A and B are shown apart, each in its own frame.
Chain A
């Protein structure tokens, strides 16, 4: 069918047609192919990146690479000091942060409330005791302070308030969910945890696109320990930051081999992802592919029209080619090569712009979505698959109109008869 001779002649014809075609038309077609490629890769890449941004944020600012947490039937991690010593002894570990967690309530208007009948402005929160320095080394949460200052190890009766506990930052009225009003750094609030009430001063408001940061109240670990009477130093969470290049699964397995999993959950950041996040990634990916396929159809139609118009305006020359004995298949191949050329150029321009500019730019300046800092996820394998898809679609879209014109009667084509 497509013999090597036909391929050679097809290439010969295509090369000359492209070389001598209108440069602006060629640029325009390549431009369309470029945008199709971008549409194919970027739409799904942004949709997946929107979630990937959230996942990355949880990893960077909460779980870190490996997280050890309380078993579901326990109130804390037993033998925490021993576990902490094991973690510290691992050469792969760069840093770790141990946290105490206790559910509690916050009250803001207790000083201004005139009567007992007036409703207390309260909010439920997870009170988190941290070593401010260790925590910041692992999760770098100090950069999320939007008002006031970050904690120091010597802060007494001072807390960081998660922004989503402040009505100013989360102005929603929802049954069963309440936030504090008129709070700011310097304002005193009352916390009630493990039956103990204490008045503390808000030192800062912290706001990140990670609920485990923005919906918690942070205080220095020694103080929370004294409030809840946790004198055995058993903690509730240990986030472990690994050295660059270390596979979290390796450290998880080491910890499990040391028996840590008998008293706590040991998970990598991916293990700790809720299943719905994984389902959402698949859903968004599917959605992205559906949207991209529309782009693919548009590209096919564009190429179809371009090649059809090209072939129909060159019908006389196609007739002459057939008349002087050029094989129909060689002529069809010339159009396939032209379609391939447009798709290839569009894809190459797209790949260069994607990986040299777009992806690094979005990584440096993530898209500010309400619940995540969206990045552009475009793995090379996926991109190459889409390039292949674009090529195949374009080749088919180029072949069909070429075939329609080439199969017409030779003499009718030469004479321009219908």
Chain B
């Protein structure tokens, strides 16, 4: 479970301070699929970066499974991200010098998993997302949709508690987007907690709860 309390984030530019998140409260239960929507500049991505521990909020509290993340050191946060969280980035964020298999195996190796087992598990997850035949391809040899599927395989290979997806279909055509969303749907059906940012109504309907953001605040929520 993730619990956010009075979360604020502001950026300083010289003398000027811009408040992007203005006190947000949210609870996401285990196994939930939550979509976060809002217009550009509403603070969706900033909110995701804070709750996924990629950034440090200005104030407020974030509890993941009742663990206060504010008290964690940088190293603890890094290890927490490695072991408990998964990320799907808008631009796939694959490492260009690695094959699909290596990209997926890397976080597993970092968890001290034996090499053979890590590669077996990576292969298993790539097969799950339909890329069992593209294991040795570099990211430059894959289409956008395939790269995003590698990114999903990497994000779920270590069985994270929460999967964060930052506009996972933004750079994809409709067909590829459908494939990605179906994969997320399947993962959710298997019990995966997912928090996804999207600005496409069509894909927000895959979630079981939609949170609407505007001007750094939650302005509403709905269940499609």
Contacts and interface: CB of A to CB of B under 8 A. Distances in A.
Contact of A20 (B80, B83, B97): B97
Interface string A307-339: 000000000110011111111101000000000
Contact of A325 (B97, B110, B112): B110
Given A20-B97, A323-B93, A414-B54, 15 more contacts: A5-B110, A12-B106, A16-B98, A17-B97, A19-B97, A317-B96, A322-B78, A324-B154, A325-B78, A325-B81, A326-B78, A326-B110, A327-B79, A327-B110, A414-B93
A320 B150 CA distance: 14
Nearest to B138: A20
B97 A323 contact: no
A410 interface: yes
Contacts of B79: 325, 327
Interface of B: 49, 54-55, 75, 78-83, 85, 87, 89, 93, 95-98, 102, 106-107, 109-110, 112, 138, 154
A8 interface: yes
A404 B165 CA distance: 29
Contact of B54 (A317, A327, A411): A411
A287 interface: no
Nearest to A4: B112
Interface residues of A, number: 25
Contacts of B138: 20
B97 A324 contact: no
27 contacts: A5-B110, A16-B95, A19-B97, A20-B97, A20-B98, A20-B138, A320-B89, A323-B54, A323-B87, A324-B81, A324-B82, A324-B87, A324-B154, A325-B79, A325-B82, A325-B83, A325-B107, A325-B110, A326-B78, A326-B106, A326-B107, A326-B110, A327-B75, A327-B78, A327-B79, A330-B110, A414-B89
Contacts of A410: 54-55
A188 B83 CA distance: 100
Interface in A3-33: 5, 8-9, 12, 16-17, 19-21
Contacts of B83: 325
A316 B89 CA distance: 12
A320 B166 CA distance: 14
Nearest to B98: A16
Contacts of A322: 78
A19 B138 CA distance: 12
Contacts, number: 66
The 7 closest A-B pairs by CB, nearest first: A325-B82, A20-B97, A325-B81, A320-B93, A411-B55, A16-B97, A411-B54
A4 to B, nearest CB: 9
Contact of B81 (A8, A20, A323, A414): A323
Contacts of B82: 324-326
Central interface residue in B75, B85, B95, by most chain A CB within 10 Å: B95
A411 to B, nearest CB: 5
A9 B111 CA distance: 10
Contacts of A17: 97
A328 B78 contact: yes
B109 A8 contact: yes
A325 B55 CA distance: 13
A105 to B, nearest CB: 81
Contacts of A411: 49, 54-55
B211 to A, nearest CB: 21
Contacts of B78: 322, 325-328
Contacts of B55: 409-411
Contacts of A326: 78, 82, 106-107, 110
A23 to B, nearest CB: 13
B24 to A, nearest CB: 18
A219 B80 CA distance: 93
A411 B106 CA distance: 20
Central interface residue in A9, A321, A324, by most chain B CB within 10 Å: A324
A209 B107 CA distance: 68
Nearest to B78: A325
A17 B82 CA distance: 22
Contacts of B80: 325
A17 B138 CA distance: 12
A325 B72 CA distance: 14
Contacts of A20: 96-98, 138
A404 to B, nearest CB: 16
Contacts of A327: 75, 78-79, 110
Nearest to B79: A325
Nearest to B140: A20
Contacts of A330: 110
A251 to B, nearest CB: 63
Contacts of B107: 324-326
A327 B110 CA distance: 8
Interface string A151-180: 000000000000000000000000000000
Given A327-B78, A410-B54, A16 B102 contact: yes
B55 to A, nearest CB: 5
A364 to B, nearest CB: 45
Nearest to A325: B82
Nearest to B74: A328
B110 A317 contact: no
Contacts of B102: 16
A317 B97 CA distance: 10
A383 B188 CA distance: 62
Interface in A385-414: 409-411, 414
